[in-house]
Chains A and B, each alone.
Chain A
């Protein structure tokens, strides 16, 4: 891929060239071109991503408030958090929320993907509408869930109480801690199923049908085919989808902020919503930054666990590392 090939100056009809000016030569210089092409991306990412990451670390060690730069106070923010029951509750909430919601999303998403992998009528249409919960702005669908979870006019309560007569009173979904947590998890699973299903469906479609035919000839049962063919071949894409899903569920903000805002009595806060509450409405930027920074080790741990925990399986299967 010589860069000076163009200098030979072969004239063709499609590309007419003037004699090379310094500008033309500059634009044919590979290093310059690389620099020019990378400049906007690197510039944006360094200024608005890398620098803020560092700034976040610094802020977490200051007592900055909104409007005041604050002074360096070492690890005081973190020490304070250690003895803050609300912070610890947000940590356990986040871990619980991530674990249960991810498990739910992947179990149901895989099931949906397997269903969609059959020959069914209107497949493309069903696949398209199934993706809707993922396309629509999270906050807007969260508001719909909020209304579904309304204490007085919940449609779920209506069905349970007035149609099925399973209960006598309307369910107080968001008023008490545990029902509120489960309500949030259900809404999160609902929103996450389409992403998991469609990515896994793409993975399923790459598995050659001849493998299943061979297994059928060998007398494998449906479960064996699933366990020995589908699961191993789905692992690589599953690993990536799982990593992304865990990462974004762990750092979820919108759903909780829209449905409960951390209530009742701060019992459903995730680390992200608590960080927001302390930093922006509470004006304690330093403390909020400390909460946000304490998410980082969890995020790195979860990412490594998902990626290598699931990804290594693929290597054990003797597949090529692509």
Chain B
């Protein structure tokens, strides 16, 4: 409706907008929808995804294309090559770093989810005296950022003789994983009807039987959420891995790419991008399988 009448001055625009009473009609206008919804949304998607596109395209570009924007359009690859990925896989320790990261992430995830399940069960279902305060304390622990902990933790790790040992990371990652997972699982346990446990109690089940055969099976989606989240967070962790690990072959992917592939002043952008891309693939894969879990756990944990 306003499309046919093009207002000239700002005052007229103001007037046109002010008198737009039949909201529903305007809302249906296709042009309006395109301008106010689809174009901004498309811009958002382009901006949010462009770095990944750029990363992917750089990692398969040969060097002469990568450094010559005038002869080759930089937004496209003319003769794609796997050279960068080959360098990464066969001339560096990259496969080793991937395995280390995977091992650390899996171990830290199991440790964190295991202890979180027990803690969440105790807080939410055993309802002991002071359970609420313990829950609050655990939540506060989530608010302590790793960047104020890594210095004392480094000395602690050194005293334990775990310096330059991946076990140090497995033991320290739970400091941020356990609070998160515990809160996620408390929320999840809340959604399981308590009557089910009462029935089992009446039927003569012990508490451990109840946890193992009733509560845990029902909490599987919550456990998956907590698990994939913990895995992602451990895979992405950087500062502890940077501070506690020194030898090349024990580094995790994010640290290794930044410290081992950046040599001198000449950056091997192709290999760097290929490394970043491959390092993102495991989490991206898991993410693509469990998108709904991510979204629900992210919002669930915030809502708690």
Query: Is A147 in contact with B239, judged by CB distance below 8 angstroms?
Result: no
Q: How distant is the Cα of A162 from the Cα of B68 in the complex, in angstroms?
A: 12
Collect the chain B residues with CB atoms within 8 Å of residue A124's CB: 291
Q: Is the interface of B mostly helix, strand, loop or mixed?
A: helix
Q: Is B147 an interface residue (CB 8 A)?
A: yes
Distance between B116 CB and nearest chain A CB, rounded to angstroms? 7
Collect the chain A residues with CB atoms within 8 Å of residue B13's CB: none
Q: Is A103 an interface residue (CB 8 A)?
A: no
Query: Is B204 in contact with A8, judged by CB distance below 8 angstroms?
Result: yes
Q: Is B25 an interface residue (CB 8 A)?
A: no
Q: Is B171 an interface residue (CB 8 A)?
A: yes
Q: Is A100 an interface residue (CB 8 A)?
A: no
Q: Is A128 an interface residue (CB 8 A)?
A: yes
Query: Is B257 in contact with A143, judged by CB distance below 8 angstroms?
Result: yes
Mark B151-189 against chain A: 1 for CB-CB distance below 8 A, else 0: 111111000000000000001101100110010000000
Query: Is B201 in contact with A5, judged by CB distance below 8 angstroms?
Result: yes
A120's partner among B41, B69, B206, B239 (CB-CB below 8 A) is B41
Q: Is A266 an interface residue (CB 8 A)?
A: no
B-side interface size class: 35 or more
Collect the chain B residues with CB atoms within 8 Å of residue A158's CB: 69, 74
Query: Is B148 in contact with A190, judged by CB distance below 8 angstroms?
Result: no
Q: Is A234 an interface residue (CB 8 A)?
A: no
Partner-binding segment picked from B4-12, B76-84, B87-95, B278-286 = B278-286
Q: Is A89 an interface residue (CB 8 A)?
A: no
A288's partner among B126, B151, B200, B238 (CB-CB below 8 A) is B151
Q: Tell me the chain A residues, 1-48 only, with Cβ under 8 Å from chain B.
A: 1, 3, 5-6, 8-12, 14-15, 17, 24, 27-28, 30-31, 33-34, 36-38, 40-42, 44-45, 48
Q: How distant is the Cα of A45 from the Cα of B279 in the complex, in angstroms?
A: 29
Q: How distant is the Cα of A33 from the Cα of B74 in the complex, in angstroms?
A: 63
Q: Is A82 an interface residue (CB 8 A)?
A: no
Q: Is the interface of A mostly helix, strand, loop or mixed?
A: helix
Mark B189-202 against chain A: 1 for CB-CB distance below 8 A, else 0: 00000000010111
Given contacts A15-B209, A56-B151, contact A33 B235 (CB under 8 A): no
Distance between A287 CB and nearest chain B CB, rounded to angstroms? 10
Query: Is A41 in contact with B283, judged by CB distance below 8 angstroms?
Result: no
Q: Is A222 an interface residue (CB 8 A)?
A: yes
Instruction: Known A-B contacts: A257-B238, A258-B258. Give 15 more (CB < 8 A).
Output: A15-B200, A27-B206, A33-B207, A52-B149, A112-B44, A132-B48, A133-B48, A136-B280, A147-B54, A190-B48, A253-B146, A253-B147, A272-B145, A280-B242, A292-B148
Interface residues of B (CB under 8 A from A): 20-21, 23-24, 37-38, 40-41, 44-45, 47-49, 51-52, 54-55, 58, 66-67, 69-70, 74, 111, 114-116, 118-119, 121-122, 126-128, 134, 138, 141, 143-156, 171-172, 174-175, 178-179, 182, 198, 200-209, 232, 235-236, 238-239, 242-243, 253-255, 257-258, 269, 272-273, 275-277, 279-280, 283-284, 287-288, 291, 294-295, 298-299, 302-303
Give 9 nearest A-B pairs by CB, closest first.
A251-B145, A40-B115, A202-B299, A37-B122, A272-B147, A41-B119, A55-B152, A140-B276, A139-B254
- List, sorted by A's number, 15 A–B pairs whose CB atoms are closer than 8 Å: A41-B182, A44-B111, A45-B179, A53-B149, A55-B155, A112-B44, A118-B37, A126-B45, A128-B291, A129-B48, A140-B254, A140-B277, A152-B67, A199-B298, A257-B238
Interface residues of A (CB under 8 A from B): 1, 3, 5-6, 8-12, 14-15, 17, 24, 27-28, 30-31, 33-34, 36-38, 40-42, 44-45, 48-49, 51-53, 55-56, 59, 64, 108, 111-112, 115-116, 118, 120, 124, 126-133, 135-141, 143-145, 147-148, 150, 152-153, 155, 158, 162, 190, 193-195, 198-199, 202, 216, 219, 221-222, 237, 240-241, 244, 247-248, 250-254, 257-258, 272, 275-276, 279-280, 285, 288-289, 292-293, 295-296, 299, 303
